[in-house]
Every structure is written in structure tokens, then in C-alpha cells.
Amino acid sequence: MAIKKIVTLGNPLLRQRSTPVEVFDASLKELCRDLIDTMYFYRGVGIAGVQVGELKRIFIIEIEKITDGPMIFINPVIEKFSRDFFRMQEGCLSLPGFHYDTRRPRSVAVSFYDTDGQKHALSAADYFATAIQHEYDHLEGRVFLDTLTVSEFKKAGKKLAEAGMVYDLDFPARKNKPKKEKA
């Protein structure tokens, strides 16, 4: 059991794309155990490898009454997004104490591998789908603030500043600027 230090907003690792896992061995299983222990320690519902400094395409999610214990997603691919949306408060271990209302596709279909290299697929909706998209974003070098519109971002930016956090709006690896509202 190893509790890892969480990489927080402002660390350039959070803006890097994680690399695929190629070897499914004992060290991978140990990393997954460490991720689970760290997620439990910090009381998260999800954690990605990059959040402990491991740029590997791995994340863990455990949601009471939805998942049967921690679910390990290795080399996940979101195959399909729904066209309707779901709003909820998101938080992140990498933005400690900060929560904000986000809007994401209501459901997703995702394929992934387990620690033995076996492929799986599932569909998820609402809270579970949001958690999958949130953790998947970490693998792509994004944080949940990247999903906000310009006006939402301005409000969130004020809350971030109050919490002593700085958002890297112009970071070179940023995939997308805050979305403009539709007219």
C-alpha cells in the first residue's frame, strides 16, 4: 500500500497526454493498487495515473451503488457520446476543495482493458458517465474546467483565485479554450 502525492493544478504534467500501457505485469497491478489506495485516502471517486505523476493511460472509478468496488480502466477509448447533456457539480483531487457545475454528454460507451489485459466495454449514464469523461480528460491533458463556456469560466476563475489556484488558460498543451456561448 502506497499513498501517492496528488499532482495539482499548475503542474505541467496535468497538461500532458498520457501514453498507452503496453505491458500488463505485476508493476501495473501495483500501480493500480497504489491509485486505489490514494483515491481512498483523499476520498475521491476517481483518479487518473497522471494525478500521481504517472503518465499512463489508466484511471480508477468507484461510485457507491453504481460500481461494484473500484473499476480499473486501462487504455480506455470513449467510443460514443450521447447528444443530450447532463449537469452536475464536479470536483477534482487536483483542484482540492474546488467544485463547479459542468455540462457533459449524458451517456458514453467506453472500451478498456483490465490489469490482465482483457478487453471490456460498457455504457454509462449520468454521474458514472461524467466520472468517466472527467478521468478520461486527464489522460488527454485536460481538466474539467476546460469544459466550461466563457461566462462560466469567468465565474469559475474568480472562485479559483479566491481558493489560491491559477488556471493555465494559455498553456501551450491546452486542447481547447473556453467554449463560446451559442447566440
- Specify the DSSP element, H or E, that contains 109: strand 107-113
For the chain, the structural domain boundaries read 12-162
pLDDT digits (tens, 9 = 90+) for 43-85: 999 999 999 999 999 999 999 989 999 999 999 999 999 999 9
Q: Which of 135, 152, 162, 181 is catalytic?
A: 135
What residue has cell string 463560446? 180
d(CA 48, CA 161): 25
pLDDT digits (tens, 9 = 90+) for 106-152: 999 999 999 999 999 999 999 999 999 999 999 999 998 888 877 78
Distance in Å from the first CA to the final CA of the chain: 52
| 135 a catalytic residue | yes
- Specify the DSSP element, H or E, that contains 72: strand 71-81
Residue type, 175: K
- Architecture, CATH, for domain 12-162: Alpha-Beta Complex (3.90)
Reading the block at residue 34, the C-alpha cell is 497504489
